[in-house]
């Protein structure tokens, strides 16, 4: 399986999502919202979450009639809108000027516009789910957004503190990333009544994939390059956010070194981040984290053992392996 083959399987589906995004956003634009909406549409991501929607659905139900496919497209579009909204709001919270190599909405239009357009995107997503006519999906998606907000609040509450326990760290990972992956992988199951065993398997795949995805971002934030991460290295440190490599390294250094690094953490001192990174390499924290990501990728793929082999299953494997490849490419350079 390769990237080209994977996307060839669902190219028409993703094209439908792109068209639906344009239709629902541009049809509602006015002189005030148009510049913001067009800026968002010009800097779209890879549509990973809609990709998960289609692949996980076709794993069980590869042949959909026109009406069923339309409902799935609307759900996939709604999930992408929620993801877009969360990124717009993240940039406000993080005071981030760049998003996907372009100016963030916050930077280009200001905080009030960014907050407002984020809420606007959420509202459009809910309208699409209303058009689908599934109370269960509306409820599940509402709970998902609630958990995402709770994760953001939890992460924010730990900023600039001197400690961050692992249980809270994993709660943030689940809430900020994994729950929307889970919703993407289960929306087809909710629409088309997959068995509980199938739902549990897809949920497990999504949660472990979500953990791995965010863990790889945390890995790259400390050990990667600006080009890999599409943002400045050490950004989490400067923003006062504890990540697993930071937590693991602080557990290994001397009390004097720990105090020095924590002081730099408070002062947003990049020199202290460089010291932390050097210590992380000294104590092989990068190897430990890479092993953990590899373990979670394996668990994610094993969750799909229930399903028969197919190109859709191989594509879901490919996505998991891609997450690991981001880490492996940098690990070799350390």
Q: Considering only CA atoms, which of 196, 272, 195 is closest in space to residue 234?
A: 272
Alpha-carbon Rg for the chain, nearest whole angstrom, is 20
Task: Give tens-digit pLDDT for 74-105.
Answer: 999 999 999 999 999 989 988 888 787 788 99
Q: Does CATH place domain 3-331 in 1.10.600.10?
A: yes
Strands in 39-168 per DSSP E: 98-99, 102-103
Q: What is the pLDDT of residue 333?
A: 53
Q: What is the pLDDT of residue 164?
A: 65
DSSP notation for 297-321: HHHHHHGGGGSPP-HHHHHHHHHHH
Could you say which residues of the chain have pLDDT below 70?
1, 159-164, 225-232, 328-334
Q: What is the pLDDT of residue 277?
A: 92
Judge if pTM exceeds 0.95: no
Task: Give tens-digit pLDDT for 96-140.
Answer: 887 877 889 999 999 999 999 999 999 999 999 999 999 999 999
Contact 273, 234 (CB under 8 A): yes
Q: What is the pLDDT of residue 124?
A: 95
**How far is 95 from 98, CA to CA, in rounded Å?**
9
* Neighbour tally for 166: CB within 10 Å: 10
Q: What is the pLDDT of residue 160?
A: 56
Q: What is the pLDDT of residue 163?
A: 60
**How far is 185 from 188, CA to CA, in rounded Å?**
7
Q: What is the pLDDT of residue 155?
A: 82
């Amino acid at each position: 399986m390769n990237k080209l083959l994977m996307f060839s399987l669902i190219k028409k589906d993703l094209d439908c999502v792109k068209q639906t995004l344009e239709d629902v956003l541009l049809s509602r634009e006015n002189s005030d919202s148009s510049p913001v909406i067009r800026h968002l549409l010009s800097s779209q991501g890879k549509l990973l979450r809609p990709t998960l929607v289609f692949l996980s659905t076709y794993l069980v139900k590869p042949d959909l009639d026109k009406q069923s496919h339309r409902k799935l497209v609307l759900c996939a579009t709604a999930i992408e809108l929620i993801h877009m909204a969360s990124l717009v709001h993240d940039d406000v919270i993080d005071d981030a000027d760049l998003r996907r190599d372009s100016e963030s909405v916050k930077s280009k239009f200001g905080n009030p516009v960014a907050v407002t357009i984020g809420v606007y995107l959420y509202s459009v997503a809910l309208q699409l789910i209303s058009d689908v006519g599934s109370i269960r999906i509306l409820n599940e998606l509402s709970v998902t957004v609630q958990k995402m907000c709770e994760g953001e609040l939890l992460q924010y509450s730990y900023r600039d503190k001197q400690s961050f326990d692992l249980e809270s760290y994993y709660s943030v990972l689940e809430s900020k990333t994994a729950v929307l992956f889970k919703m993407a992988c289960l929306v087809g199951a909710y629409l088309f009544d997959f068995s509980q065993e199938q739902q549990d398997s897809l949920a497990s795949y999504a949660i472990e994939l979500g953990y791995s995805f965010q863990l790889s971002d945390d890995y790259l934030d400390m050990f990667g390059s600006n080009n890999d991460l599409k943002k400045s290295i050490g950004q989490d440190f400067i923003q006062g956010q504890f990540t697993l490599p930071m937590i693991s390294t602080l557990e290994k250094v001397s009390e004097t070194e720990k105090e020095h690094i924590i002081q730099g953490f408070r002062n947003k001192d990049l020199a202290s981040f460089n010291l932390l990174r050097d210590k992380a390499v000294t104590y092989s924290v990068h190897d430990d984290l890479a092993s953990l990501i590899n373990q979670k990728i394996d668990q994610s793929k094993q969750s799909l053992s229930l399903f028969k082999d197919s190109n859709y299953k191989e594509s879901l494997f490919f996505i998991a392996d891609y997450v690991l490849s981001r880490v492996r490419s940098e690990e070799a350079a350390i």
